Amino acid sequence: MNIHEYQAKQIFAKYGVPTPRGIVANTPEQAFLNAQELGGNIWVVKAQIHAGGRGLGGGVKLAKSLEEVKTLASEILGMQLVTHQTGPEGKLVQKVYIEEGADIKDELYLGVVLDRAKEMPVIMASTEGGMEIEKVAEETPEKIVKVAVDPAIGFQGFHGRELLFGLGITDKVEQKNFLKFAKALYNVYMDNDAEMIEINPLIKTGAGEFLALDGKMGFDDSALGRHPDIEDMRDISEEDPDEREASRYGLSYVSLDGEIGCMVNGAGLAMGTMDTINYMGGTPANFLDVGGSANAETVAKGFEIILKNPNVKAIFVNIFGGIVRCDRIANGILEATKLTDVHVPVIVRLDGTNAPEAAEILKNAGIENVIAATDLADGAAKAVAAAKGE
């Protein structure tokens, strides 16, 4: 689950992570009043969407008067903001964050992410604040400092010193302020079961203080039961409606840009299936894991969700029957053809528990556009060919 910048900064405040003052607004008039309440003579009007690159897309603008705050808010609210993370369709801006201006001496990058290979959180920092960290990693990876922190001991002084040396922070006051900031951010990450925190930019003021000028947070969905206050921050309007619908049926679904729909059981097999499709020259349209408790209803719902994507030209069902029985999947496919207009070829590879029974069910059904496959490679090849109309 992701949250908005203003929500992330509310969490930061509880841990003493410094941020500029700001107030969220839903209307231009409210934005005007927020700026008036904040005081000063310069403000930043920020679009609130679950995506980065807002500034380059025109979603972050500087205002030098109260009237300009109102004007800019009216321009940003309701716009379809397109960034490198939204895709060409963009995202509708429904909220803006009005934030006080800041004295920016320098811009840095600071983030905390989970390194699954190391099995511990990693603090990433860079002197290239304000830039896309992916671009920095690709072009100048030496400018990114990575410090793994073992949760058993937590954030220690030597972690902080490694970050300081990597960033070239030598002033004693600045060192003290940065260490305090980094430790507080690590605590935010650990205490709230976060998967990712990103501050870009982290600014250094003329007084040597550090402020989170931006804030992004993502959380482990499986841990939200421990954090009802964070779950209350969920903005379902920012989430893919098909992904939300799939979750209600116990399906793990992620929409992609390809043309071959995938229905698989098990995340590892799903990833392997998508890789094989790519290897065979095709492109997957989705990730869909039906899990180990799939039944006819959930399989039918999976087909319905996949076929909502107009780009889908074929569906590859790749099931290894361990926990879930293959005959159950076969019946689900038959059910799907009754409940949903399955108008594209369906390539089916079923192996494992009750696979012979499943093959018999599909054979006796006599459905024209269901194509049997013998293994993963054969199924992927047939799916790619079907998608190409061959």
Specify the pLDDT at position 8: 97
Q: Which two tokens stand for residue 245?
A: 């619908």
pLDDT above 80 for 374: yes
Specify the pLDDT at position 218: 95
Let me know if 368 is exposed, middle or buried by CB neighbors in 10 A (0-12, 13-18, 19+): exposed
Specify the pLDDT at position 339: 73
Question: Cis (ω within 30 of 0) for the bond into 151?
Answer: no
Share of residues in the chain with pLDDT > 70 (%) = 98
CA 89 to chain centre: 16
Residues written for the chain = 390
Higher pLDDT, 298 or 197: 197
Instruction: Tell me the pLDDT tens digit for each residue of 169-205.
Output: 999 999 999 999 999 999 999 999 999 999 999 999 9
Q: Using pLDDT thresholds of 50, 70 and 90, give the confidence band for residue 292.
A: low
Q: Which two tokens stand for residue 323?
A: 């926990």
Phi, psi of 258, rounded to the nearest 5 degrees:
-85, -160
Specify the pLDDT at position 198: 96
pLDDT above 70 for 377: yes
Every domain of the chain and the residues it spans: 19-101, 103-238, 241-387
pLDDT above 90 for 239: no
119 is in an annotated binding site: no
Q: For the whole model, what pTM was predicted?
A: 0.77
pLDDT above 70 for 31: yes
53 is in an annotated binding site: yes
Average of pLDDT values for 238-246? 80
Q: Which two tokens stand for residue 40?
A: 């000063």
360 is in an annotated binding site: no
Average of pLDDT values for 114-121? 94
226 is in an annotated binding site: no
Residue 246: name the closest of 291, 310, 196, 194 by CA: 291
Q: Using pLDDT thresholds of 50, 70 and 90, give the confidence band for residue 132.
A: confident
109 is catalytic: yes
Specify the pLDDT at position 294: 64
Query: How many Cβ atoms sit within 10 Å of the Cβ of residue 306?
Result: 27
Average of pLDDT values for 94-98? 97
Fold of 19-101: Dna Ligase; domain 1 (3.30.1490)
333 is in an annotated binding site: no
200 is in an annotated binding site: yes
Cα dihedral 367/257/194/139 (nearest 10): 150
Fold of 103-238: D-amino Acid Aminotransferase; Chain A, domain 1 (3.30.470)
Say if residues 380 and 280 touch (Cβ distance below 8 Å): yes
Selected catalytic residue, list 128, 174, 198, 335 = 198
Q: Using pLDDT thresholds of 50, 70 and 90, give the confidence band for residue 293.
A: low
368 is catalytic: no
Highest average pLDDT, of 75-89, 144-158, 244-258, 294-308, comes from 144-158
90 is in an annotated binding site: no
107 is in an annotated binding site: yes
Specify the pLDDT at position 27: 97
Say if residues 310 and 286 touch (Cβ distance below 8 Å): no
In whole angstroms, give the CA distance from residue 186 to residue 316.
Answer: 42
Instruction: Tell me the pLDDT tens digit for each residue of 330-348.
Output: 887 887 777 777 789 999 9
Selected catalytic residue, list 109, 186, 189, 249 = 109
Say if residues 182 and 110 touch (Cβ distance below 8 Å): yes
Say if residues 287 and 242 touch (Cβ distance below 8 Å): no
Sheet with 96-100: strands ordered across:
22-25, 96-100, 43-47, 60-63
Q: Which CATH class is domain 241-387?
A: alpha beta
